[in-house]
Every structure is written in C-alpha cells, then in structure tokens.
Structure 1
Amino acid sequence: MKKESFKSHEDLVVFQLAFNTAMKIFELSQKFPVEEKYSLTDQLRRSSRSVCANLAEAWRKRRYKAAFIAKLSDCEAEAAETQVWIKFAVKCSYINIEQGRELYKTYNQVLKGLVNMINNPNQWIIGE
C-alpha cells in the first residue's frame, strides 16, 4: 500500500492489531485479583495502551524522520514490556497459558510491523 492511502494511524494494520489486543488485555485483566489493581493490572493495561498512543504520536511526527523513528522505538519498547507483563500474568495464573501464548504471539506480530516501519521510515515520511 502506498502511504497516500493511509489517512490516519488508525488505518495501519499494526495499530488495529495493537488496539484490539489492548482491549482484549483490558477484558482479561478485569478478572485479575483486586490486590493487583495498582501493580500488574495497571502496568499491563498501561503498556498495551501506550503502544497505540505512541503509534498515534509517531504518525503525527512523520515530517521529521528522527522523531518518527524515536516514537516508533517507544512503541517497540512498550510492546516488549507488555510481553513481559503477559508472562507474569500467566505465571501468576491470572490468565491461562493458551491466552498468554496468543497475546504474546500477537505482540510479536505488532513488533514485526513496528520494526518494519523503523527500518523503512522513508515509506512513511511526508514532505520528502
């Protein structure tokens, strides 16, 4: 797809995947124990949502290659952090292994998309 066909960050498959997975995490985390509310639950929700928020910011910084890449790197870091929290949620038996694997696998897809954007920024930069 050419960059002209993308009107917003919401048109990106990687954004849609990250957003839908963050919502799945929200749904699953509603069943976490109350004592995890301000720790694991909060961290997992926060990092998964940050992937989406940072991607929206990166999209708006496409005029500046370095800023675009830096924001995408923030997305990448948040996605990797989310994978760590997913592993904790599985180890603590808050989500089952199959759910954890599916979430983890999805974040691998998100990471793949982000790394592709980071490695090929000129496809996305505007004004060049």
Structure 2
Amino acid sequence: MGSVKSYKELIVWQKAIKLVKEIYLLTNSFPEDEKYGLVSQMRRSVVSVPSNIAEGWGRMSKKSYILFLRTARGSLFELETQIIISAELNFFTNTKNIESLIIEISKMLNALIKSLNERE
C-alpha cells in the first residue's frame, strides 16, 4: 500500500497500540465486579482497533482493507461509548487524554479510508 512497507509503520496503528496500553492501565483500577463486564468489553474493543488495521493490511486488497478500517473505526466508537458509561458510573474522572487519542485515531482512520477510496 504505497511506500509503507508494514502496517506497523502506520502512525494510526502506533497510536492505537498506545490507546490499548492506556485502556489496560485505566481498567486495572475498575471495581472487581466489572472484571468480566465493562473491563472485558473495553479491552476487547480497544484491542480490536489495531488488530483490524493489521488484518486489513494483510488482506492485500484495497476493498478488504477499507472494510477492516471501518471495523476498526466502529470498535473505536464502541470504546468511546464504554468510556462515557464508565465515567457516568464514576469509575474514573479524567478521560481527556484518552478522549483526545480517540478523536485523533478517528480522524486518522477517516483520512486513510478517504485516501484509499480516492485511489484508482
């Protein structure tokens, strides 16, 4: 896909990995009774973002890649909703860094999807 040799070179993938770390650290402080509820769901959602970027890249088809990038974006918005729910439940209060990272990744995914759609 252009001059990029690996999905690992994509800044959007790198930022998604950073988001995974942030969410894992954040959810460590959640109540124990949320371990198999919200914590599990948030972790699955966040892991899905870089995973779908990588899987789409590996399909070596522009159409498939776009589909997986859209799935990554969907998982990102799912995570955003879970963060809002967690904040409403007072599991944490400061979400600014995570919210900023989500917005940044969302914009990057949108730009990448648009760029791929414009090719050929």
* Fold conserved between structures, TM > 0.5: yes
Q: Distance in 2 between matches of 1:45 and 1:83?
A: 12
- Amino acid in the other structure paired with 2:111: N
Gaps of 5+ in 2: none
1:122, distance to aligned residue in structure 2 (A): 6.1
Partner of 1:3: 2
Q: TM-score, normalised by structure 2?
A: 0.91
Does residue 76 of structure 1 match 2:44? no
Q: Which of these residues, 110, 114, 118, is aligned with residue 119 of structure 1? A: 114
Partner of 2:48: 50
C-alpha distance after superposition, 1:42-79 (max 9, x if no partner): 11111011001000001112x32211111111011001
Q: Which of these residues, 88, 92, 114, is aligned with residue 89 of structure 2? A: 92
Q: Distance in 1 between matches of 2:85 and 2:53?
A: 25
Q: Distance in 1 between matches of 2:89 and 2:5?
A: 41
- Amino acid in the other structure paired with 1:112: K
Q: Distance in 2 between matches of 1:122 and 1:78?
A: 20
Q: Distance in 2 between matches of 1:66 and 1:15?
A: 19
1:101, distance to aligned residue in structure 2 (A): 2.3
Distance change >3 Å, CA 102–CA 16, structure 1 → 2: same
Partner of 2:23: 25
Does residue 65 of structure 1 match 2:65? no
Gaps of 5+ in 1: none
Deviating 4+ runs (over 3 angstroms) = none
Where 2:5 maps in the other structure, the secondary structure is: coil
C-alpha distance after superposition, 1:87-117 (max 9, x if no partner): 1111111121x2x122112111101011111
Q: Aligned-residue CA RMSD in angstroms?
A: 1.8
Identity, % of aligned positions: 28
Q: TM-score, normalised by structure 1?
A: 0.86
